[in-house]
Amino acid sequence: MVSGAFAKNDYHLREDDDDFVDQANVMAGLDHANVLKLLGVSFKLKPMFIVTELFSCRNLKEALWNNDVDQNVCNLFSICFQITSAMAYLESQKFIIIRNLSAKSFVISNKATVKLINFTKARKVVDDSYVGDTSESVNVKRSSLEVLDGCNYSSKSDVWSAGVVMWEVFSEGEKPYIGLSPELIIRFVFQGGRLSKPALCPSDLFDVIHKCWLPQPKNRPSFQQLKLKLAGKSSVYLYPPQPFEKPSFSPDCPSFKSPPIGSRGKSVDRLGLVNTRVNVSVIIILDAILFFGFIK
């Protein structure tokens, strides 16, 4: 028995056959603790389904907002490390670009394992560059300058998006750029504006996050560099220090608290608030074809 996770018009269900095959090819052969593993593809059912490992989980964005994750720096740091670990692995594949990375791209289990599950717009390229169609939708809140300007994607545009994801983690799932329209967000970031430090995020960690939003892609850190930067801070933010290949949550870590000045007791940055939830359904597929490389 195998399983496949999907949501309407999102995640693993694709109406367009070519996009479906592209997504399957990107996921084929990926093997990392923080990336959802592809087991096969079912072509006999309509619509077709990507078949994945069985993984009991919650959407990361929803888990953060609902306080299902203990909000202390150690736990949030562990989540961020697992995110950068997943992305560093994709970067090492030369190259897999996600293109729409957000907190909703990840899920978290009851054992605090974080996995990347959303490959709906991902592309595998050989030169770390992909030019998207100008007619396709762009996630303005999480897109880099070069994506907003010309749909130019790379691992460094994913780095920008990952910086926003880590901001979301330390903002307890709040929405970035609250109160700004897409047009104003574009003007804001092109004029040098950036998200401000969340109350729960230590200054030295925010310095790492902030470098993800440097204007020139070449000046942003790679995911491997981000992973190493966070690994270097493990003795401070993991209690007790944990091996980084299997980071674990630390309930005894002291929390960085701030006065509850926002809705539901959350500390709200002037550019952050709660985001809309996305429900992920888990289905059981009994008739699947094992996927080894490309399935014809």
- The pLDDT value given to residue 269: 38
Asked if pLDDT for residue 59 goes beyond 60, the answer is yes
Quickly count: other Cβ atoms within 10 Å of residue 169's Cβ. 27
**Inter-residue contact 119 to 128 (CB < 8 Å):** no
- The pLDDT value given to residue 239: 53
Q: Decide which of 266 and 177 is more confident.
A: 177
3-state SS, residue 115 = strand
Cα 155 from chain centroid (whole Å): 13
- Measured in degrees and rounded to the nearest 5, phi and psi for residue 280 equal -110, 125
Q: Decide which of 19 and 280 is more confident.
A: 19
What average pLDDT does range 147-174 have in this prediction?
Answer: 97
What average pLDDT does range 165-178 have in this prediction?
Answer: 96
Asked if pLDDT for residue 48 goes beyond 70, the answer is yes
**If you average pLDDT over every residue of the chain, what do you get?**
79
Domains and their CATH numbers in the chain: 1-57+280-296 (3.30.200), 69-106+125-278 (1.10.510.10)
Q: Does the reported pTM lie above 0.85?
A: no
Question: Could you give the CA distance from residue 73 to residue 258 in angstroms, rounded to a whole number?
Answer: 13
Tokens for 167? 């901001």
What average pLDDT does range 262-291 have in this prediction?
Answer: 34
Asked if pLDDT for residue 111 goes beyond 60, the answer is yes
Question: Could you give the CA distance from residue 18 to residue 16 in angstroms, rounded to a whole number?
Answer: 6
- The pLDDT value given to residue 169: 97
CB contact set of 37 (below 8 Å; sequence gap of 6+): 30, 31, 52, 53
Question: Could you give the CA distance from residue 281 to residue 9 in angstroms, rounded to a whole number?
Answer: 12
Q: What is the pLDDT of residues 235-263, one digit of tens each?
A: 888 754 444 444 444 444 543 333 333 33
**Inter-residue contact 95 to 166 (CB < 8 Å):** no
CB contact set of 276 (below 8 Å; sequence gap of 6+): none
- The pLDDT value given to residue 285: 31
Cα 219 from chain centroid (whole Å): 21
Q: Looking at residue 103, what DSSP letter applies?
A: G
Length of the chain: 296
